[in-house]
Amino acid sequence: MILHGGQGTRLRPLTHTGPKQLIPVANKPISQYVLESLRESGINEIAIILGNAYPEKVKEYYGDGSKFGVKITYIYQGEPKGIAHAVGLCKEFIGEEPCVVHLGDDLLKGGICKFVQGFKESNYEGTVLLSKVKNPQRFGVAQFDQNGKLVKLVEKPKEPPSEYALIGVYFFKPSIFKMIEKLKPSWRGELEITEAIQLLLDHGYNVDYKFVDGWWKDTGNPEDILESNRLVLDELKHDIGGTVEHEASLQGRAYIGKNSTIKHGSIVRGPVSIGENTTIEASVYIGPYTSIGNNVTIKKGEIENSIIMDNCFIDINERITDSIIGPHSTIITNHVDKPKGYRFTIGERSKITI
C-alpha cells in the first residue's frame, strides 16, 4: 500500500494544485521512488490510497501501473482519517497475504528490499522501521524495555521515551485488520496506526523493529524537499542524453535528458539533474544541487540548490537560491538592480516580475 493522501498544508502553495507526493525530487515524483522500491522488493501488486487532494492527477500519472512494471489498484480514502483508517480500507485487497504499508512522501536510502525479505522469513505479525531523530516530538516514537524489546509506541509525545521514530514503513500480517476494527478516533479525529500496533503488542502478538542504516526523509515541508533533492543528487549517475555545446562548462556529475541543450558560455556545476527538452542559454549559471524539469527555458540568471519544475521560463539578472518553483511558472527581470539573491517557494502557473 502506498498512502497518497493528506493535505500538504506545510507545502502550500505547491499543494494548491496537486498532491505533495507528486512533487519532484531530482526530476522524479517522491511517491515514484516508493513505488520503485516496492517493485524492486518483488512486490508487483500495489494499492494506492487516494485522498481528496487531486486524486485524478495521481491516476493520470501512474495509470494502471503497467509503464512502471506493476499492477495498481486505487482505493479512495477521501478525508484524512488516519493511517490506520487507510490501511483498514485495504482489507479486501490484501486478503490473507502479508503486506507493506509505505507513506507516499517518505524517502529512504537504499529502499526496503532487505526488510521485505526479512519479514517474509519471520514469524512476526508486524515489523516497524525506526530511525534516530533530533525532534522525536514530531513523530510516533518507540519505547523499549531493559532487554531492548519493543513494548510501546507513542504518537507525538511531549516527553519522548526514546529518540527512535517510526519512519512511515510498516510490515503487517492480516491480524492488523482485527486491531484496526477495535480503534476509536484519537484526539486528532484519526485512527492512529501506532494504536493499532500497540493493540498487537497488548494482545500478545510479536512485533519486531529494524533500524534504518541510511538517510530517511519525511518530505513534509520545503526545507525537507530541498534536502531530499540534495541527498538524491549526491548519488546521481553521470549521464548526458542531450547536447553540451562547445565552450559550455559542465563541471561534476550531471544528468541531462534527451533533446536538452546546454548552450556555449553557460556554466553547469553538478550534481544537477536536467530533464528533457530543456534549454540552458549562454551566460546562465546552474549551481550544485539543482534539479530542472522538462520543457524549461532559462535565458539568464543564476540558480543554485533549487528545484525548477516542468514548463518554466526564467529570464533574470539575479540569483535564485534554496527555492522550489512550481510548474508553468515565469520569473523575469524588468529593472537593472542587482540584489544578492531571492528565495522562493511558488506554486503552479505563478508569475514573478523582479
Residue 185 is predicted with a pLDDT of 87
| Close Cβ partners of 198 (under 8 Å, ≥ 6 residues apart) | 152, 153
Same domain, 213 and 245: no
Among 217, 233, 249, residue at a domain's last position: 233
Measured distance CA(86)–CA(50) in Å, rounded: 9
Residue 130 is predicted with a pLDDT of 93
Same domain, 176 and 301: no
CATH number at residue 251: 2.160.10.10
Among 189, 213, 233, residue at a domain's last position: 233
Q: What percent of the chain has pLDDT over 90?
A: 60
Same domain, 228 and 277: no
Residue 351 pLDDT greater than 70, yes or no? no
Same domain, 249 and 204: no
Residue 203 is predicted with a pLDDT of 92
Same domain, 78 and 96: yes
Residue 220 is predicted with a pLDDT of 76
Among 165, 199, 233, residue at a domain's last position: 233
Q: How confident is the model at residue 205 (pLDDT cuts 50, 70, 90)?
A: very high
Q: Let me know: does 342 contact 306? Beta carbons within 8 Å.
A: no
Same domain, 34 and 138: yes
Residue 13 pLDDT greater than 80, yes or no? no
Same domain, 58 and 167: yes
Same domain, 208 and 244: no
Q: pLDDT: is 120 or 89 the higher one?
A: 89
- Which residue range is the domain that position 72 belongs to? 2-233
Phi and psi (nearest 5°) for 142?
-90, 145
| Close Cβ partners of 153 (under 8 Å, ≥ 6 residues apart) | 128, 140, 141, 142, 143, 166, 194, 195, 197, 198, 201
Same domain, 226 and 305: no
Q: How confident is the model at residue 109 (pLDDT cuts 50, 70, 90)?
A: confident
Quote the number of domains for the chain. Answer: 2
Q: pLDDT tens-digit profile of 52-103? A: 888 899 999 999 999 999 999 999 988 888 899 999 999 999 999 999 999 9
Average pLDDT over residues 13-17: 73
Same domain, 229 and 263: no
Q: pLDDT tens-digit profile of 211-259? A: 988 888 877 788 889 999 999 999 989 999 999 999 899 999 999 999 9
Give the closest residue to 212 by CA, choosing from 102, 123, 121, 120.
102
Measured distance CA(176)–CA(83) in Å, rounded: 12
Residue 199 is predicted with a pLDDT of 94
Dihedral of alpha carbons 200, 78, 9, 304, sign: positive
CATH number at residue 159: 3.90.550.10
Measured distance CA(154)–CA(143) in Å, rounded: 8
Same domain, 258 and 214: no
Average pLDDT over residues 24-32: 94
Residue 336 pLDDT greater than 60, yes or no? no
Q: How confident is the model at residue 19 (pLDDT cuts 50, 70, 90)?
A: confident
What secondary structure letter does DSSP report for 348? T
Same domain, 266 and 217: no
